[in-house]
Structure 1
Amino acid sequence: MKPTRFETAIALIDKQNSEDPNVYHACGLDFPKELLYSQRMSQKLLQFNPDASRALQIAARAQHICRWKIARDEYPMDRVGYLKWRETLKKMHAEITADILKEVGYDGEFIERVSFLINKKLIKKNEESQTIEDVICLVFLDYYFEEFAEKHNDEKVIDILQKTWVKMSEEGHAEALKLKFSDKSLALVKRAIS
């Protein structure tokens, strides 16, 4: 049976992300970092929103496509540099994904929708943009937070938790509180949101 456009698009996104030279170690195995991240995004999206549209599923999978191609240190190491780097990345993610979607035969309207979601436009106003933001935050909290917390002091961790919390919806908050945290991390989460 021939794969669908959607399946082909996902496979092509994965193919790009499998070229990530950065390795992430999980469950005793080494993975291309962005490939693992993208698969975690898809999994978390479907747990959080089993009826997610195809556009939302593709945007979640392509959220960090080829992220390694633009290094953080190509921009000033301050807040302004960070935001500029993030904006440039979003644009690149949207462009690479648009090329894949054109290649597999999606129309302009669908491609625009996916680009809109990758760029996380109108968070808090657009339901699907908010969903993608919630999923990004949930993936961070579920898979990357403990590691982050080990490397930083409590004040910095609480600050990041508070910034993360503000971006999330009520549904996102409820889902986050169901995650399994270590005792120390749970205490930090509770401090951050109290």
Structure 2
Amino acid sequence: MNQLEQTLADFDELNAQDPNTEISNGETVAKELLYSQRMTTQLHKFVNQPSEELQLAARSQHICRWKIPRSDYPMDRQGYKKWRLDLAVFHGETAGNVMIKNGYGDDKVQRVKDLLLKRSLKRDAEVQALEDVVCLVFLEFYLEDFASKHDEVKLIDIIQKTWNKMSDAGHAAALKLTFSNQMLSLVTKALQA
């Protein structure tokens, strides 16, 4: 196993400890392990030959996320933003520690942290690619469940915000996703508004 494969396997080992689970293809899987695998699959569909750092960032996007629950923060916009920032820093530190253990240098560790913090979104092609992959995974796998918990006005707002974070290439990929009739109707409404 090379350095990249070992590090990805170590990320998977950590994410497999998630006490939260989902059913995928009839099997119960740790939620963040499944998410990280979906991120990797989508990354390889979306980016031709992604760099090592981008592969590591995609796989560690939610690493050990359950350790910092949303409920620990005020349930308002400011609390949400603080939670998201704290998570990004935590994911970077956690991924960085695994990378260092596997012999990566400071420059590569810092690059993965910068990717996870979405530094220079819209200006850095790899940061943008990571954000596009995050949005594509959300739209493909998590929008439907999210929709069951929110009203249409909120959903349209979320879809529009998601769309605004994406590049033209991300938009093109999103339009090729397969949605249920209900989600397709919702996405269409959001994009026409």
For normalisation by structure 2, the TM-score amounts to: 0.97
Q: Which runs of 5+ in 1 are unaligned?
A: none
Partner AA of 1:64 in structure 2: H
What is the match of residue 56 of structure 2?
Answer: 58
Whether 2:31 is the aligned partner of 1:33: answer yes
> What does residue 46 of structure 2 align with?
48
Return the match for 2:107 from 99, 109, 112.
109
TM (norm. structure 1) is 0.97
What is the SS of the residue equivalent to 1:151? coil
- Is there any run of 5+ residues in structure 2 with no aligned partner, and where? none
Identity %: 49
Cα distance in 2 for partners of 1:150, 1:27 equals: 21
| Selected match of 2:162 from 147, 160, 164 | 164
Structure-to-structure mapping, 1:7-22, within 5 angstroms: 7-22=5-20
Tell me the SS of whatever aligns to 1:31.
strand
Superposed CA RMSD: 0.8
> Which SS does the other structure have where 1:30 is aligned?
strand
Matched, 1:69 2:67: yes
Question: 2 CA distance for matches of 1:188 and 1:21?
Answer: 32
CA distance in 2, matches of 1:27, 1:150: 21
Provide the rounded CA distance (Å) in 2 between the counterparts of 1:148 and 1:76.
20
Given residue 174 of structure 2, which amino acid in structure 1 is its aligned partner? A
Picking from 144, 148, 152, the partner of 1:150 is: 148
- Other-structure match for 1:134: 132
Which runs of 4 or more aligned residues in structure 1 lie more than 4 Å from their structure 2 counterparts after TM superposition? none
Q: CA deviation at 1:150?
A: 2.3
Deviation at 1:149, TM superposition (A): 1.5
Amino acid at match of 1:16: L
**1:102, CA displacement in angstroms?**
0.6
Distance 1:170 1:69 in 2: 34
- CA distance in 2 between counterparts of 1:150 and 1:76 reads 23
